[in-house]
Structure 1
Amino acid sequence: MAAISPQRSHLDPDKEDQKVGARRSDGGPAGLHNDVRNADGSSLVGSDILGLEALDPALNMKMHLVNDAIDEIGWTPYHTKLFFLNGFGYAVDSLILLFQSIIAGQAFQEFGRKGYVNGMTIAVYVGMLAGAIFWGFGADIIGRKYAFNISLFICSTSCVVAGAMPTWESLGVFIALLGFGGGGNLVMDTTVFLEFLPGSKQWLLTFLAAWWGVGQAVAGFIAWGFMVPRKWNCDADAVTCSKDENWGWRYTLFTGGALVFLLSLLRITVVRLRETPKYLLGMGKDAEVVETFEYLSHKYNRPCSLTLEKLEACGTINNSHKKGGFFGELMVHLRGLFSTKKMGISTGMIWFSWTLIGLAYPLFNVFLPQYLAARGAEFNRTPFETWRNYALTNVSGIFGPMLAGLLCNIKVLGRRYTMVIGALITCAFFFGYTAVRKDYQDVLFTCLINFCLNIYYGTLYAYTPEVLPSAHRATGNGISVAFNRIMGIISAVVASEGNTATSVPIYVCAALFIVAAITSALFPFEPYGRRSS
């Protein structure tokens, strides 16, 4: 992986424009910093997000040529496959996050109500924390391809085995393993998709988060199917609850595990992922970068003017950190996120935002079944109605990122103000939710909150990898998710010591989103119209 260094290469980027410049698809000269058109004729007029930062000049110049090549090839069926298969990863992450909250009550009752009542929430967040860190660092060292393919297999097998566990403690172990696979999977989804995307299509990274809502919806419908029938679920006030009369939560995990296993097979059979060109570039493998683009160019009959000679003419990137061994590489990736003052401020604010949403999201969404159960007594809901409403709430989350994807591609809004809008509207509905007294109001407000919350969340998921340097993207992304998971663990403790059936967590969530909106408005980078490194 390329080290970020303030040293200048032997080439001056301005003087070398014509020497190493690409050519537009119409045949005209492009120069290193000129316009390159997509295969469909569209053009991204703008610069690279980190192009003016004091990074390794040779790497900057090569990255610009790689971005030109990606834009020149444009959108292909390969990108369509990545949109769906990377989207599966989003869906799986939200699926497993909700599964543990869905099945925890019935499983805890079956195992004699012995143990920590929110133990499954802590288990899944500990697993996701470990997964985010492990796969985040690992993907910057061993590559994106292997982490991308392995993570879903870990999720699927752990989910199936968890459904067969005989004790609360053993269930927690496999729920943690389930989170470990999912934690790394989510880091890879945005990283891999972004590093193949043409600049004019980067807004699709926000749109990709719609799959998060799909995963929530699937979890809701599976729960609706298996957690309602009395033949599979013990009554809440039952004195005893045996395994034979309580298969609902196990069927939920078996079904989810089988679905994830199918998705993991599709990842390998439908698209045989090639290592991302930006990772190869950072590793100094210029020849493999060119080979990847030649493959896409020939397979989809698209123009590509990038050559090995053009990359080599930019100079040699600084790879001296490889002499430091494994831990030396880790430190280089961490330092690389703070290479300049502006980048350091950006990295810190991103991590802070993930910390905020890490507390707000589970307080509302993961513990929503508890809140709904308490309100259900007031509304005289049946289990069927409770889980039906839960499914409806999760379906509404699909459309938030879709709207966010459109908003963030409007110049006056961009990514930052799309997040501001999502956060403030979510905050308003949180405050309004405390006044809910009727059943239909409850359903309406929970759906609106989930819709608006995902406008913010989906944009933050996309913004994070967009503004991180490619050489350290997975590391920065992984640490962001790690902060999110740490707060998830804390939220589980808060829920155990406090009372999530009251409206207090709603006020806390509202306040957190106000802070998140202010932070978003102050982000130093705006990716609209600019290409990621």
Structure 2
Amino acid sequence: MHIVNNTIDEIGWTNYHWKLFFLNGFGYAVDSLLLLLQSIIATPAGYQFNPAYPRALTIAVYVGMLTGAIFWGLSGDIVGRRFAFNTSLFICSIFTIIAGAAPNWVALSVFIALLGFGGGGNLVMDTTVFIEYLPSKKQWVLTWLAAWWGLGQAIAGFIAWGFLSPAKWNCPDPFNKQGVRISVCEDASNKGWRYVMYTSGALVFLMSIARITVIRLKETPKYLLGEGKDAKIVEDFHSMAAKYNRPCSITVEMLESCGTVRSAHGKSKFSVGELTVHFRGLFATKTIGFSTILIWISWTLIGLAYPLFYVFLNSYLQSRGADFGVPSTFITWRNYALVNISGIPGPMIAGYMCNWKLLGRKYTMVIGALLTMIFFFAYTQVRTEDENIGFSCAIACCLNIYYGTLYAYTPEVLPSAHRATGNGIAVACNRVMGILSAVIATVANTETSVPIYVCAALYVAMAIVAVMFPFEPYGKRSS
């Protein structure tokens, strides 16, 4: 691993890394785009289909992303990173477009789950692939990758703003205050949510095509190292060095002199033993095991806090908007887009902070969590429209300081041969709590400030867990 890291540092940052930054960033953007789409279209689609369980789409997307995270995470360690990288976005795009043509609520929920399955592999593979090519002095760039998450949110907000604001594409609310249907919502007058899905699906499809045409991703050197393919590692490094006119001194003899790698896989790749190897590798020592558990706890906590605020933000804004005298859905969706745009600078600020020796990754997460907590508590005192938008935007920015750093920290400290598995389980923990948040939303009133207080308390817990992390990646090279 030292030899491989030395070679990555020797070659340094190249245009190949810029391409990875953009193409892996597409995965981040799609993940957040898809996560918000289901909450965006749930209300207008519900007007048309009159569902028995209105939160079905939220549960569907999280179930899909849960199974996708586990499937793509395990496959990334078993058959390689390249397959998931090239496939996941394509699956997302196809089922997003199909979901736009859903004839009823059950079909829509199924297609939402399937697009979530494809999206479940994005966060796992994007960080895994990127970190395994990054020079040590550029590992902080992994934090910046999360800025694409905010961009995906912003795109979702703008698409919703464009298609869900015009009255010609959207039915008025067919229910009275008692929840009794008083009018019919025909498909012909309710095309807005379908256009949202078609447009989003087409955009994701273009991203999936870019992934296989702009860059021909080769298997990562650290995955190949776990496979014992020394000659292939050397060949790929020299090919990259020659293409970008960089020095490269690695040889097959240097790797072979270290012995043979025998512990990265089981006797058969498609066996229970293979799964056991990757799970045990995350607990190889007490310190590594403690780190793994804390990472999973962090993803679990943010998995509950994030959707309670974001996925149900539109209903909260609408309820507050009534108090503020917001006159139209146009203003509501404009506010939604503005809040999502504000999430973009968060990971960039985090990237700057985590590269300070005084803060590192751990205390950047602590600061991001505590700032978010402060703004959450302050948000409950909002009384004007300007305050509403201002505090919502501040929360979006600070929240992504924490989230962006956690995204980067997770693959940095996980052992390379088992990185995708550990990352996949972490994201799966996140999705389980997303499902729970939908259940909470069913039995609780998300139009009150209660979820805000709950989120604030959760961020205090996240800050405490961040302090307890045993590893600080600043100034160190990932395995």
Task: Determine the C-alpha separation between the residues in 2 that align with 1:245 and 1:90.
Answer: 33
Task: Determine the C-alpha separation between the residues in 2 that align with 1:114 and 1:155.
Answer: 24
Greater than 6 Å deviation, 4+ residue runs: none
C-alpha deviation, 1:252, in angstroms:
0.2
Pick the aligned partner of 1:286 from 206, 230, 248.
230
Q: Secondary structure at the match of 2:120?
A: helix
Pick the aligned partner of 2:124 from 175, 181, 187.
187
Matches within 5 A, 1:144-163: 144-163=81-100
Task: Determine the C-alpha separation between the residues in 2 that align with 1:464 and 1:83.
Answer: 17
The answer to whether the 8 Å contact 2:282/2:414 transfers is yes
Matches within 5 A, 1:93-492: 93-111=31-49, 113-237=50-174, 239-319=183-263, 321-324=265-268, 325-381=270-326, 382-492=328-438
- In our comparison, the structure showing a higher alpha carbon Rg is 1
Task: Determine the C-alpha separation between the residues in 2 that align with 1:240 and 1:454.
Answer: 41
C-alpha deviation, 1:326, in angstroms:
2.1
1:121-178 CA-partner distances (Å, limit 9, x unpaired): 0000000000000000011000000100000000000000000001000000010011
Structure 1 residues 320 and 438, CA, compared in 2 at 3 Å: closer, same or farther? Answer: closer
> Structure 1-normalised TM-score?
0.87
Q: Secondary structure at the match of 2:266?
A: helix
1:177-200 CA-partner distances (Å, limit 9, x unpaired): 111011111110000011000000
Task: Determine the C-alpha separation between the residues in 1 that align with 2:246 and 2:333.
Answer: 49
Identity %: 67
Letter in 1 for 2:266: K
Letter in 2 for 1:81: K
| Paired residues, number | 470
1:403-429 CA-partner distances (Å, limit 9, x unpaired): 000000000000000000000000000
Mean CA deviation greater in 366-375 or 485-494: 366-375
Matches within 5 A, 1:496-511: 496-511=442-457
What residue in structure 2 maps to residue 495 of structure 1?
441
C-alpha deviation, 1:240, in angstroms:
1.0
Structure 1 residues 340 and 319, CA, compared in 2 at 3 Å: closer, same or farther? Answer: closer
1:461-482 CA-partner distances (Å, limit 9, x unpaired): 0100000000000000000000
Letter in 2 for 1:153: F
The answer to whether the 8 Å contact 1:91/1:212 transfers is yes
**Structure 2 gap segments, 5+ residues each:** 176-182
Letter in 2 for 1:92: V
Task: Determine the C-alpha separation between the residues in 1 that align with 2:214 and 2:302.
Answer: 34
Mean CA deviation greater in 310-319 or 519-528: 310-319
Letter in 2 for 1:73: I
C-alpha deviation, 1:508, in angstroms:
0.2
Task: Determine the C-alpha separation between the residues in 1 that align with 2:276 and 2:106.
Answer: 36
Task: Determine the C-alpha separation between the residues in 1 that align with 2:346 and 2:47.
Answer: 35
C-alpha deviation, 1:317, in angstroms:
1.7
Task: Report the structure, 1 or 2, having the larger helix content.
Answer: 2
The answer to whether the 8 Å contact 2:265/2:278 transfers is no
1:349-400 CA-partner distances (Å, limit 9, x unpaired): 0000000000000000000011111111111211110000000000000000
Letter in 2 for 1:387: W
C-alpha deviation, 1:320, in angstroms:
8.1
What residue in structure 1 maps to residue 178 of structure 2?
none
**Structure 1 gap segments, 5+ residues each:** 1-62
